[in-house]
Structures are given as C-alpha cells and as structure tokens.
Amino acid sequence: MKVLFVVPPFGGIKKEGKTEQKQGFLPPIGIALLATILDQDGHEVKVLDMQVQNLPEQKLIDFIKDYQPQVVCFSILAATSLVAAELVALIKQHIPHVIIVCGGLHASMFPEETLKANPTINYLVSGEGEYTFKELLQALEQKLDVSHIKGLYYKKDEEIISTGIRPFEKDLNKFPIPSRKFFTMSHYVPLPSQYHRFPVGNMITSRGCTYSLCTFCFESSPFVREKGFRRISVQRAIEEITYLINDYHVKEIAFWDDEFLMDHEWVDVFCDEIIRQKIDILWSCFGKVNFCSLPLLKKMAQSGCKNIFMGLESGNQEILNFTKKGQTLDMMRNAVRWAHEAGIEVRGSFILGLPKETPEIAQSTVDFAIELDLDYAQFLLNTPFPGTEMHEVCKSGKYGAFDENAGFEKYTEHTALFLPSGYKNKEELLSIQKEAYKHFYFRPKYFLRKVKNVRSKEDVFRYFRGFHFLLKTRVLKNSEF
C-alpha cells in the first residue's frame, strides 16, 4: 500500500506564499521507526514533515494528488491537534476514499475525544504503535477484520470501538534501526544552543522514566508510567551511531531520551565503547541532576559529550517541592558545577508561572540561573497538560486562574494558560518571561564569555543565529505565541 506519514506544523497551514523552511527541529524518530517497519513489509512509504517544511496549501494539495496515498497517518500532539484536523479535512476533500490513521501522545491519551472531534479519522492507534500499525496495514491490504488488532480505536455504526490495550514491547532491540532515508537530512538544523558540529543526527535509546513523579510531566500520568523503563543495548546504540556517521556523515548526535543518565551502568559502558572504538562523534543529552556525578560526567566528556540539558524548573525550593521534582537547589548547583568542571556545557530549563509563584519568586529563579553561570537558559511558561497532576492542581482554582476554555492548540510553553494568584494579570507574567531572557542573555559577562569561546567560523555562525532567534522569538515578541 502507499502510505504517507504527516507531521503537522506548529502554527497552522500556510494559505499561500513559498514553502517555509523552519529550523530548530530534528527528524521525528518515532515516525522514522514506523516508516521503516512498514517499508520492510513491502509498503511504499513517504514522510511529510511540515514542522521543517511547511508547504503552502496549494503545494500541499499538489503533493497529495501526485503521490495518491491509500493511507495517511498523522502523529498528533496537543499543540498540533487543531492543525491536524484541518489537514485531515483538506486531504479528505481531495482524496475522499483515503484511509486516515492517527496516533501520537495526544491521540493515545484522549482517543475517544479525538475521534469525536475528527469524524473523518478512520482508525486511531493508541500507545506504542509499531506492532499495531504493522498489523493494521496487513489487515487493510487483505481486506480483513481489524477487531482482533490490539491498540486500535475506530467507529462502527457511530459507536466508538476499542480493541483493548496493546502490551508494551519490553525488548527494544527487536525493532530495526529507524531509517533516515525518509527525510532530507539537510533540512534539519537544530537551535544554535543544541549543537557544535554539523551535520547533526538524533537518537532515542530508551523509553519511559523510572522516576515518573514530576507533576508537570506526561511521564507521571498512569497511561505513560505503566510502560516502565526500557533501553536498547549499548551495542545496538553503537550500530545506530555508526550508521548515521557512514550514511549521513553525522558529526554530532542529540540523544532525545527523556532521561539519558537514568542507568549509570549503561551510560558508563556506552562511553567506554565510544572511547575504545575511537568513534569521532560529539553528543548531547537530557539529564536529571539527581543522576549526575563528577566521575560519570568526566567519562561522558571524554567520550564526546559537549552539552547536557537539565530541567531545573525553579530557583525557589518551595516551588521545586511542589513539582515533586525530587531535587534541591544545592543538588542543582553541584550538578552544574560538576558538568562545567568536566568540560560540558549546560542548558538549563526553568518554568515560570507555577502554582504559588509570585513575580518576586520568578525573579529569584532568573537570579539563580545567572548564579549557576549556565551556558544557555530557557524560561518557559507553565503548561498544565491534560492527564498530568499539574493540570488537576491548576484546574482546582486553589492556586490561581486556569483557562479551561482554551483549545488544545494553546497548550504550548509560550501561552499563559494558568495565572498564579500572585500575579495581577497575564500581561505581567508574559512581561516577566520576556525580561527573564533579557536579564540572562544581555549581560556583558555573558557576551564576553561567548566571544572567548569562539573557535571557528561555525561558532560565529551559530552565535549569530542564536542571537537572531532570541530577539525574534523571545525578546521582541509582544504577545503569546
């Protein structure tokens, strides 16, 4: 069968004009894996990633008419749910008999709501979709009944049918290496703070989180938490790195695991293997401060780690406790200091607008970011995603006002959905977010350090792009995204 995977863009479909190339994204690995599995089964597969290549409406229609897919699959996030609905309607208008399948975290957490809001969707894949997609395509191709395929939702005589929960695959090594042949890799350029050498590839070595308590995170929801923590073998990870280097000349890899440092023994063996095989690769990852130690960070740096993203969240201990993050200010100080001692840059992420926060507390968070001497910092707004404990807390009204009427497309880290009681209005919160970026980045000390760190023309180019991005999307913006 001819299959098309579509990744909806943030911000809507372009009605006219030129194709919009966007930076700050890397290939969607989950879709790459699904596409690889279907490709190996003999299906003809294409991927249209509109996050990086947002086609204007007419070009999109021309692309669909030219390819004539029999099945179109969408991966839906909360923030792209409205755009996905528009795309489904557009595709159905021009190819009425096409079969629409959707999946992704948002669709998996709210399957019935998604089907009710989008009546033209034929099938919804809930949970991890590798086996479900494979079996669904086999059934569709052979015109067989799908009621026995676990992990599906669909409509029958206006009734929504669930086929039951699909058990999670415990051994991730059973899945093939996600092929990148479905993407034009040159289209993917990360944010300047996310890499040192180009081209950049990305990988995911694990699924799940052993901590799963943070109130703002999907990993804390029962739907996600029950999956448990699973990881590919070190050898399998090395094979994928080698594939990216040999086939795509990748010089740096961004590991997109929710928590890369969770299994110290695995990370230690992984670093040893890169060092032993003398693999010339730089890499970055996400790491919780609880799992950081100086010996581990030094080993990581020796194997090529140049950058670690830490979710720090707040510079106020009471607020941190409220998020159930399980970390203290001193733990964060130590983790950042150790990383710098090992020669690893730190990107710190903070959340503004959490329950119990005031403008004064927000300012203390910015001051804390400066005290830590972070290499990069981002200040996001509290987004109480449905399905998380934070959503229930904010919705209760105990700690402030929550916009319950906001559509899912508003669930981004740049929209003030929740206003803590300590703030006068949304404008004050948005202003504090903008000032946080100014206060952190527009300092002589910070500027001079970046100038001293310039080692190549690539560094100059990265810093220029970073400054432009900062001005355009953080400092000069006058409203919510």
Residue 184, in any domain of the structure = no
Q: Answer whether residue 432 shows pLDDT above 70.
A: yes
The reply to whether 398 and 280 lie within a common domain is yes
User: pLDDT band at residue 352, thresholds of 50, 70 and 90?
Assistant: very high
The reply to whether 371 and 222 lie within a common domain is yes
Please tell me the distance from the alpha carbon of residue 340 to that of residue 349, in angstroms, as a whole number: 17
The reply to whether 434 and 380 lie within a common domain is yes
Nearest Cα to Cα of residue 202 among 364, 52, 424, 382: 52
Sole residue written with tokens 């999109």: 60
- pLDDT value of residue 478: 47
Domain range spanning residue 47? 2-162
The count of C-alpha atoms lying within 13 angstroms of the C-alpha of 147, restricted to the half-sphere facing its C-beta, is 5
For the chain, the domain total comes to: 2
The reply to whether 196 and 156 lie within a common domain is no
Residue 294, in any domain of the structure = yes
CATH number of the domain that residue 79 is part of? 3.40.50.280
Residue 436, in any domain of the structure = yes
Q: Which residues contact 329 (CB under 8 A, 6 or more apart)?
A: 315, 317, 320, 368
Where does 169-275 show beta strands of DSSP type E?
200-203, 206-207, 230-231, 252-255
Question: What residue spans of 29-172 are helical by DSSP H?
Answer: 29-40, 57-67, 81-94, 105-109, 111-117, 130-141
CATH number of the domain that residue 281 is part of? 3.80.30.20
pTM of the shown model: 0.90
User: pLDDT band at residue 186, thresholds of 50, 70 and 90?
Assistant: confident
The reply to whether 340 and 448 lie within a common domain is yes
Residue 290, in any domain of the structure = yes
Final residue belonging to a domain, choices 147, 162, 177: 162
Residue 327, in any domain of the structure = yes
Burial of 24-39, coded b for 16+ CB within 10 Å and e otherwise, reads: bbbbbebbbbbbbbbb
- pLDDT value of residue 87: 87
Please tell me the distance from the alpha carbon of residue 42 to that of residue 388, in angstroms, as a whole number: 39
- pLDDT tens, residue by residue, 391-425: 888 889 899 998 888 777 777 777 888 999 999 99
Phi and psi, residue 216, nearest 5°: -95, 0
Residue 179, in any domain of the structure = no
The reply to whether 152 and 241 lie within a common domain is no
Final residue belonging to a domain, choices 142, 162, 182: 162
Residue 168, in any domain of the structure = no
Beta bridge partners of 307: 284, 345
One-letter amino acid identity for 477?
K
- pLDDT value of residue 122: 93
More confident residue, 404 or 120: 120
- pLDDT tens, residue by residue, 200-256: 999 999 998 877 778 888 665 655 556 678 999 999 999 999 999 999 999 999 999
Final residue belonging to a domain, choices 162, 183, 205: 162
User: pLDDT band at residue 14, thresholds of 50, 70 and 90?
Assistant: low
Of the ranges 6-15, 36-45, 48-57, which is most confident?
Answer: 36-45
Name the percent of the chain lying above pLDDT 70.
90
- pLDDT value of residue 59: 85
Please tell me the distance from the alpha carbon of residue 460 to that of residue 26, in angstroms, as a whole number: 22
Q: Answer whether residue 467 shows pLDDT above 60.
A: yes
